[in-house]
Amino acid sequence: MHNIGIIVNHSKDIEFELTKSIINWIEKNNANPMLTKQTSAVLGHNINGYNVEEVYEKSDFVIVLGGDGTILQVAREIANFETPILGINLGHVGFLAEVDVKDIYKSLDIVLKGEAIIEERMMLEASIIKDNVKKEFYALNDIIITRNTISRILTMDAYINEDLVMTVNGDGLIVATPTGSTAYSLSAGGPIVYPNLSVITLTPICPHSFSNRSIVLSDNEVISIRLLKNSGDAYLTIDGQECYKIEENEDITVKKACFKTKLIKLPGRGFYDVLREKLKER
């Protein structure tokens, strides 16, 4: 572990005191911190700044300072480089961020000694084809089809491998990975899924029918979603961060992505420990 990337949410570590401290620790442990050009310029540090893609490609692992939202963004950007992420929680919930601030250096020492665990998390690929042009989106948590705040309810058909499985009349539909099962899907009544399982969940949002329920699918299934006529304005949302307006003549296809997010996990802290802590079920 020689090259260690650092991605910092500038709104979370406002004075960059934590970032500077981590840089100093890395250097004292004979490793090379890799900063983005933006972070390097703000710090005025005597370390060369790199393009974000260079940080992802050349780092042995990347430290992400922020909340789950920051980690989700980095996960989408870094996945095709297969570089592991160590999340340090500067946010609130922190399902994805493995390390609390008070445990940073103990945790980094474990990682540098090669005693940490790397978990591979499934991602989703959503695609939309219009006028023979294909748009692709990738998500670690979820792909959501939803209405805008003042639109009428949405009506859509959901197919699994070309077989109609449900017609949804409601606020939308969530397609989630096991990682995303504890995010919006959970709030919408979806199941909690162990993160290493190879499944996809399909959960309607506020359906206008008691017959619409969550479905758990194999990760080999291909999901197709088609908006029906006279639906309101619909949007495709990626991990709650990217948004694309869906037109009536556009069909959405969702399936397992060809690459995965790699998350660094510490020994002795399992999924159920995190679940109890974050859901306050002690």
Single-letter code of the amino acid located at 176 = A
Q: How many helices (H) and strands (E) does the chain have?
A: 7, 19
- CA end-to-end span of the chain: 36
Question: Contact, 143 vs 124, CB < 8 A?
Answer: yes
Strands 32-36 and 49-50, bridge-based pairing: parallel
Question: Contact, 202 vs 223, CB < 8 A?
Answer: yes
Out of 13, 68, 142, 171, pick the active-site residue: 68
Active site residue 60: no
> How far is the C-alpha of 281 from the C-alpha of 62, rounded, in Å?
31
* Residue 43 structure tokens: 């710090």
What's the order of all strands across the beta sheet hosting 199-205? 215-218, 199-205, 172-176, 142-147, 234-238, 242-246
Contacts of 1 (CB under 8 A, 6+ apart): 31, 60, 61, 111, 112, 114
Question: Contact, 203 vs 185, CB < 8 A?
Answer: yes
Contacts of 17 (CB under 8 A, 6+ apart): none
Number of Cβ within a 10 Å radius of residue 162: 7
> How far is the C-alpha of 97 from the C-alpha of 76, rounded, in Å?
15
Question: Which residues are the active-site residues?
Answer: 68
